[in-house]
């Protein structure tokens, strides 16, 4: 009976929060910000930066003005057809939280208040939650918020800090790049083992990495909150960044060295606002690694087009 229920609910998909995928080009989905009567495409300019509460960062250039007092919605849509806009996948209602202003634009920070998802029927969503996703940390409201936020694929990058015996390397998907690559924003949990030192030294490195190194990337995930072993004991070689001398995986495609210029407490996560000081390319890319929520993947696998699992 359990196997039959699993087949009905999941098909051939695995019961996990996120699917690891790679994209052949741009994301097929689109994301739209509504501020009162104004609606704009923010697909390439929005990022999840905190989870409790959930906070989005949305980059707006100087010519785009939205009032802090307005009510905001984010609409996640599937691939557009010849007839017009794509089907609605999820909707989030948000309130203004804060903003970071730069000469080229502003990062608008919005806190999620409510969420609705349309990947599967409400009954199927509830059954999936009760059978596979219910944990002490996840109630149904949180599942909906995560499924909505990760209806759009989130790229995984690798962050490096420090050298010698004071260093750390870990993957992240709560981050964004904007302003032609001059600015980066990161959302790090307060439990991150290197957060205090990163805020003290105001320096970090972020690397672009290929999905081909998924296993090594996920092995690094445990060093968010635990001590990383000495470099010689890691199962892959490291190189040092040109300016800071921070350790970077030798298999990274490229890396950017950053100065941290602002921090902001978002609740569960600390926002780090950083400016690029140097960029180094090591090799060509074979394709990036992204995270897509499993409910979004279920819809894709049924309705298409779907991304390649890795």
**Max mean pLDDT range (133-137, 187-191, 227-231):** 187-191
Q: Are 272 and 258 in contact (CB under 8 A)?
A: no
Tens-digit pLDDT profile for residues 196-218: 999 999 999 999 999 999 999 99
Which range has the worst mean pLDDT, 191-195, 222-226, 251-255?
Answer: 222-226
Query: How confident is the model at residue 117, as a pLDDT?
Result: 96
Query: How confident is the model at residue 149, as a pLDDT?
Result: 98
Give φ, ψ of 61 to 5 degrees: -75, 175
Give φ, ψ of 42 to 5 degrees: -120, 25
Q: Is the peptide bond before 222 cis (omega within 30 degrees of 0)?
A: no
Give φ, ψ of 155 to 5 degrees: -70, 140
| Fold adopted by 157-281 | Pnp Oxidase; Chain A (2.30.110)
Rounded CA-CA distance 68/77 in Å is 25
Residue 4's pLDDT band (boundaries 50, 70, 90)?
low
What average pLDDT does this structure show over 67-73? 76
Give φ, ψ of 247 to 5 degrees: -75, 135
Tens-digit pLDDT profile for residues 77-107: 998 765 567 899 999 999 999 999 998 899 9
Phi-psi category of residue 84: left, alpha or beta, with phi > 0 → left and psi -120 to 50 → alpha = left
What average pLDDT does this structure show over 19-32? 93
Look at 11 and 295; give whichever has higher pLDDT: 295
Query: How confident is the model at residue 279, as a pLDDT?
Result: 97
What average pLDDT does this structure show over 219-245? 93
Q: Are 254 and 208 in contact (CB under 8 A)?
A: yes
16-154+290-309 and 157-281: identical CATH topology: yes
Query: How confident is the model at residue 2, as a pLDDT?
Result: 61
Query: How confident is the model at residue 81, as a pLDDT?
Result: 64
Query: How confident is the model at residue 13, as a pLDDT?
Result: 66
| Fold adopted by 16-154+290-309 | Pnp Oxidase; Chain A (2.30.110)
What average pLDDT does this structure show over 182-186? 96
Does an H or E element contain 172, and which?
Answer: strand 166-172
Tens-digit pLDDT profile for residues 107-122: 999 999 999 999 988 8
What average pLDDT does this structure show over 253-271? 98
3-state secondary structure of 140: helix
User: Please, what is the average pLDDT of the chain?
Assistant: 91
Say how many residues make up the chain: 310
Residue 38's pLDDT band (boundaries 50, 70, 90)?
confident
Which range has the worst mean pLDDT, 12-16, 238-242, 261-265?
Answer: 12-16
Q: Is the pLDDT score of 178 beyond 70?
A: yes
Domain residue extents for the chain = 16-154+290-309, 157-281
| High-pLDDT (> 90) share of the chain, % | 70
What average pLDDT does this structure show over 51-73? 85
What average pLDDT does this structure show over 55-73? 83
Q: Are 184 and 206 in contact (CB under 8 A)?
A: yes
Query: How confident is the model at residue 11, as a pLDDT?
Result: 67
Rounded CA-CA distance 225/70 in Å is 38
Rounded CA-CA distance 185/96 in Å is 18
3-state secondary structure of 143: helix
């Amino acid at each position: 009976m359990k196997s039959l229920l699993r087949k009905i609910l999941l098909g051939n998909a695995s019961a996990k929060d996120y699917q690891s995928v790679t994209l052949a080009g741009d994301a097929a989905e689109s994301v739209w910000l509504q501020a009162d009567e104004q609606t704009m495409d923010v697909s390439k300019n929005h990022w999840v930066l905190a989870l409790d509460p959930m906070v989005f960062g949305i980059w707006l250039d100087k010519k785009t003005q939205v009032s802090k007092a307005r009510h905001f919605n984010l609409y996640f849509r599937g691939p557009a057809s010849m007839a017009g806009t794509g089907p609605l996948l999820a909707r989030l209602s948000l309130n203004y939280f804060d903003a970071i202003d730069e000469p080229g634009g502003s990062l608008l920070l919005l806190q999620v208040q409510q969420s609705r998802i349309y990947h599967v029927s409400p009954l199927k969503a509830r059954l999936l939650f009760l059978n596979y996703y219910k944990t002490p940390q996840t109630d149904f409201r949180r599942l909906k918020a995560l499924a909505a936020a990760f209806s759009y694929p989130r790229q995984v990058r690798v962050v490096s800090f420090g050298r010698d015996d004071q260093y750390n390397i870990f993957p992240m998907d709560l981050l964004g790049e904007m302003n032609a690559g001059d600015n980066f924003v990161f959302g790090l949990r307060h439990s991150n083992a290197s957060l205090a030192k990163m805020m003290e030294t105001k320096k970090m490195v972020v690397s672009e990495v290929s999905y081909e190194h998924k296993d090594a990337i996920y092995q690094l995930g445990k060093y968010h909150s635990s001590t990383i072993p000495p470099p010689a004991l890691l199962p892959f070689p490291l190189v040092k960044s040109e300016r800071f001398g921070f350790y970077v995986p030798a298999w990274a495609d490229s890396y950017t060295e950053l100065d941290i210029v602002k921090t902001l407490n978002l609740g569960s996560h600390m926002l780090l606002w950083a400016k690029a000081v140097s960029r180094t390319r090591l090799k060509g890319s074979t394709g990036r690694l992204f995270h897509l929520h499993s409910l979004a993947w279920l819809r894709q696998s049924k309705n298409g087009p779907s991304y390649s699992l890795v």
